[in-house]
Amino acid sequence: MLKREELSSERIEQIVADARKAGYDFFLTQEEREASLREALKQYGPGEEAWVFAYGSLMWNPALEYAETVPCEVEGWRRSFCFWVPLGRGTPELPGLMLALEGGGRCEGIAYRLAPHQVRSELAILWNREMLSGVYQARWVPTRLRDGRTVTAVTFVVDTKHSQYCGDLPIERAAHHIAFAEGRRGACRDYLANTAAHARALNIHDPYIEELVERVANLRGERSVGSVLPINGIQAG
């Protein structure tokens, strides 16, 4: 589980320094991350609340303080294991894969509401988490909450020009990397397992995720793809 204290600027700067020493010079500096956050906040009115759309690990390990959480969906975007991770949940020899949003389709997930006093501090933590390598681009997207409300939420879509981007991999190749890639933050298959389990708990059916779960289990000769974290207290509705 990722903890808030691991997302302090000091800890993140050490991660960036280590990554750059290892040859990954695309990792963003603190100044670049802060500039990205300032740009995103241009669409935010001071004193207003803000929403965050979560579709992957933010669903089951947000490490954020928030005022409300609601199942939701966005149109025009879909989950995709579409970028390599040679660190964290993989190695340079066998990189893992991580989720991002790619254009097309629809995606169900969780919306977190940040109260006005939480917006800047929590988004700064979120940027330290999601904007390390620059493979994500922040977007404000129309988001339909399951209770009928429509809000605009910030989320993270893949930069298709980034060196980590790997496009639409054949699903059998994606499954192989997810099944066997591991790194200092754990196994890639556990990332998939937790995402799938939390989606099911929220009555979210994602055929792409479910097919990967089945393929990974078959590759490993298992009935499940790994340990699953406890479901958080979100109501499926």
Which of 70-84, 99-113, 134-148, 212-226 has the least mean pLDDT?
A: 212-226
Determine which one of 102, 108, 122, 130 is catalytic: 130
Question: By C-alpha distance, which of 171, 192, 224, 202 is closest to 90?
Answer: 192
Residue 148, pLDDT > 50, answer yes
* CATH fold label, 4-220: Hypothetical upf0131 protein ytfp (3.10.490)
Q: How confident is the model over 62-90, as a mean pLDDT?
A: 96
pLDDT of residue 9: 83
CA distance 108 to 101: 11
Q: What are the φ/ψ torsions at residue 112 (nearest 5 degrees)?
A: -105, 130
Please give the helix or strand (H or E) that residue 175 lies within, else none: helix 171-180
CB atoms within 10 A of CB 106: 13
**Average pLDDT over all residues of the chain:** 92
Q: Model confidence at 237, in pLDDT bands (50, 70, 90)?
A: very low
Alpha-carbon distance of 169 to 208, in angstroms, equals 13
Cβ-proximal residues to 177 (8 Å cutoff; 6+ apart), any chain: 90, 94, 95, 96, 97, 188
Query: Range with the lowest mean pLDDT among 3-12, 21-30, 61-70, 165-174?
Result: 3-12
Whether residue 122 lies in the annotated active site: no
Q: What are the counts of helices (DSSP H) followed by strands (DSSP E) for the chain?
A: 7, 7
